[in-house]
Amino acid sequence: MAKRQAIEALHRTMQDIMGSTLPFGGKLMLTGGDFRQVLPVVKRGTRAQVVDASFRMSPLWSSTEKLRLSINMRALNDPWFSEFLLRVGDGTEETTNGNFIKIPDAMTIPFTTNDNFIRDLINIIYPSLDSNTHSPYYISSRAILTTRNDSVDEVNNYMINIFNGDERVYYSFDTTEDDHHNLYPVEFLNSLTAGGLPPHKLRLKIGCPVILLRNLNPSDGLCNGTRLVCKGFQPNAIDAEIAVGDHVGKRVLLPRIPLSLSEEDMFPFKLIRRQFPIRLSFSMTINKAQGQTIPHVGIYLPEPMFCHGQLYVALSKGTSMENTKVLVHPSKKIKAGGVFTNNVVYREILLDQ
């Protein structure tokens, strides 16, 4: 997911330091990744702009210097599933009606009415929820992945409503920088739900899973994307237990801190939100799940995929077909039987240059 410009900046800096025209000044560089995954995010960017930002297109690398990962290590116990994942990631899976591919029947959940289909997915991914609310492993080993933040909020709100325990609500304090004439009322600022920021109204319960949105203390495992389980609440701190990684089981206190949007969000003002840097993580976006290990995965697709590698990333989070379930809201009528969804693959990213 590193942008090409960042890699090339390092390349030129090392050349200047070493006084050499060799790649990276002649220093040995080791990189790792999988170009089937989601590419660098270019907000409001076209396909050409996303491809141009990709490290894959860098002129620094010849075909002999590229090593491609051809096996999904988490799916080695299911060879057929591994091969299916590779075909999805490479864009070679058989398609119909454009880019629509068939999801294996063993992985699908039938779409019913608007009132029941989310509940059906939740019951499969979170079975016996009432009796497992205080089990950190049960909570952290499951998640529902979807495409957009509004769908994530829909699932998280449903889950926190049925989750056992007394609810604690934390409200943010929102301001803008240099707004001397009060052009933006507090009610308007509170309504903003931009990605990367916690919600104005943060609803939590003891035992619920959350995900960290900022790097607080990497040496103690508090990094952007770390999943935790809430253990206690104080007015200005949340007692939580790290649920994944090398620091699993460690108790930490999460502070309320000021957060702001980046300049790329193109708001005509700088929003400063003072809130705990977390969100509920019963559900998360597919992009946020990249790099996570989630043994039991539900994939909720109220709309088709819209960028390279999203379907591959979502499907590859599960360890097997049995632990991966897909719920698709039909967006196109396809005569062939089964469940179909869009698979977006930018083939030019995967070709040797």
If pLDDT is split at 50, 70 and 90, which confidence band does 331 have? confident
Could you tell me which residue, 335 or 292, shows the higher pLDDT? Answer: 292
Which pair of structure tokens corresponds to residue 202? 């943060």
CB-neighbour burial class of residue 132 (10 A; exposed 0-12, middle 13-18, buried 19+): middle
Question: Are the beta carbons of 228 and 212 closer than 8 angstroms?
Answer: yes
Domains of the chain (ranges; CATH) run: 4-65 (no CATH), 72-164+282-353 (3.40.50.300)
DSSP reduced 3-state for 120: helix
> Residue 115's pLDDT is what?
64
If pLDDT is split at 50, 70 and 90, which confidence band does 193 have? confident
Q: What percent of the chain has pLDDT over 70?
A: 91
* Rg (alpha carbons) of the chain, rounded to whole number: 22
> Residue 209's pLDDT is what?
93
Helical ranges in the chain per DSSP H:
4-18, 47-53, 79-90, 117-125, 136-140, 149-162, 186-190, 286-289, 310-316, 347-350
> Residue 7's pLDDT is what?
87
Question: Are the beta carbons of 301 and 342 closer than 8 angstroms?
Answer: no
**Amino acid, single-letter form, for residue 170:** Y
Q: What is the rounded CA–CA span in Å between residue 202 and residue 200?
A: 6
pTM, two decimals, is 0.84
Has residue 61 got a pLDDT over 60?
no
Has residue 68 got a pLDDT over 80?
no
If pLDDT is split at 50, 70 and 90, which confidence band does 114 have? low
pLDDT tens digits for 283-305? 999 988 887 778 899 999 988 88
Number of helices (H), then strands (E), belonging to the chain: the values are: 10, 17
Q: % helix / strand / coil in the chain, to the nearest 5?
A: 30, 25, 45
Has residue 206 got a pLDDT over 70?
yes
Question: Are the beta carbons of 343 and 306 closer than 8 angstroms?
Answer: no
**Amino acid, single-letter form, for residue 323:** N
Has residue 60 got a pLDDT over 60?
no
Could you tell me which residue, 334 or 246, shows the higher pLDDT? Answer: 246
**Amino acid, single-letter form, for residue 158:** Y
DSSP reduced 3-state for 96: strand
Has residue 277 got a pLDDT over 90?
yes
Has residue 66 got a pLDDT over 50?
no
Hey, which residues does 48 pair with through a beta bridge?
Answer: none
Mean pLDDT computed over every residue of the chain: 85
